[in-house]
């Protein structure tokens, strides 16, 4: 299965299917989630790709591209390397003057929240088939959050959903986490 197809399946089955992001279904249906794959194995080239995606989303109305997923299948497989790169990416966002307009959400196959054990269910909420950077328009995020009741409880609700998954469901939803 190609990278884009795997990400689409993850969006449909996990992010939307488990309602981890209650705001994702509508832009997905309306084809306003851009998924782009970078084949680079260079952090420098990846920063350039991020810059290009930021420039594209900045000049494209949200009615065409609401959000972007930059998929990184050949780089940053180590989660610590990924988190270090995330600092660079956020610095680039700030340096380019887009802080407050866009933010980056992070997803990785080995995602592990600070202070948690790698096997904790809460980490599944941010585990994706590949390392990726999610570019979010802050204006859209503020709009949907203002209309969503108890939006501050979303992370807690998501962890509860992950705790309810049995081993078979985890294997079906997150096949990339299990070696056969």
- Top-confidence residue, 140 or 17: 17
SS3 string, the chain, reads CCHHHHHHHHHHHHHHCCCCCCCCHHHHHCCCEEEEECCCCCHHHHHHHHHHHHHHHHHCCCCCCCEEEEECCCCCCCHHHHHHHHHHHHHHHHHCCCECCEEEEEECCCCCCCCCCCCCHHHHHHCCCCCEEEEEEHHHHHHHHHHCCCHHHHHHHHHHHHHHCCHHHHHHHCHHHCCC
Mean pLDDT of 23-32: 95
Mean pLDDT of 9-24: 96
Range with the poorest average pLDDT among 33-47, 63-77, 134-148: 134-148
Does residue 1 surpass a pLDDT of 70? no
Q: How far is CA 150 from CA 9, 33, 169, in A?
A: 27, 24, 27
**Using one digit for the tens of pLDDT, what is the confidence trace for 41-82?**
999 999 999 999 999 999 999 999 999 999 999 999 999 999
Range with the poorest average pLDDT among 8-17, 46-55, 148-157: 148-157
Q: Which pLDDT score, from 0 to 100, does residue 174 have?
A: 97
Global pTM?
Answer: 0.94
Half-sphere exposure of 104 (CA within 13 A, CB side): 27
Does residue 147 surpass a pLDDT of 90? no
**Residue 149 pLDDT class (50, 70, 90 cuts):** confident
Does residue 121 surpass a pLDDT of 80? yes
Q: Is the CA virtual torsion 70, 77, 109, 117 positive or negative?
A: negative
**Using CA atoms, how far apart are residues 151 and 155, in angstroms rounded to an integer?**
9
Mean per-residue pLDDT of the chain: 94
Q: 167 is written with which tokens?
A: 């081993």
Whether the CB-CB separation of 20 and 158 falls below 8 Å is answered with: yes
**Using one digit for the tens of pLDDT, what is the confidence trace for 88-106?**
999 999 999 999 999 999 9
Does residue 180 surpass a pLDDT of 60? no
Q: What percent of the chain has pLDDT over 70?
A: 99
Closest CA to 35 of 58, 56, 13, 20: 56
């Amino acid at each position: 299965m190609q990278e884009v197809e795997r990400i689409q399946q993850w969006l449909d089955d996990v992010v939307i299917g488990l309602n981890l992001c209650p705001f994702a279904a509508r832009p997905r249906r309306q084809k306003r989630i851009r998924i782009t794959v970078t084949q680079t194995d260079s952090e420098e080239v990846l920063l350039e790709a991020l810059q290009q995606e930021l420039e594209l989303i900045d000049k494209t109305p949200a009615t065409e591209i609401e959000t972007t997923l930059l998929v990184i299948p050949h780089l940053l497989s180590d989660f610590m390397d990924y988190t270090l790169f995330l600092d660079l990416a956020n610095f680039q966002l700030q340096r380019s003057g887009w802080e407050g307009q866009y933010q980056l959400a992070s997803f990785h196959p080995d995602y592990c929240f600070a202070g948690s054990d790698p096997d904790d269910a809460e980490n599944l909420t941010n585990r994706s088939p590949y390392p990726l950077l999610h570019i979010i328009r802050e204006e859209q995020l503020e709009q949907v959050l203002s209309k969503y009741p108890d939006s501050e409880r979303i992370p807690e609700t998501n962890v509860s959903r992950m705790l309810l998954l049995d081993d078979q469901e985890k294997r079906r939803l997150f096949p990339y986490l299990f070696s056969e």
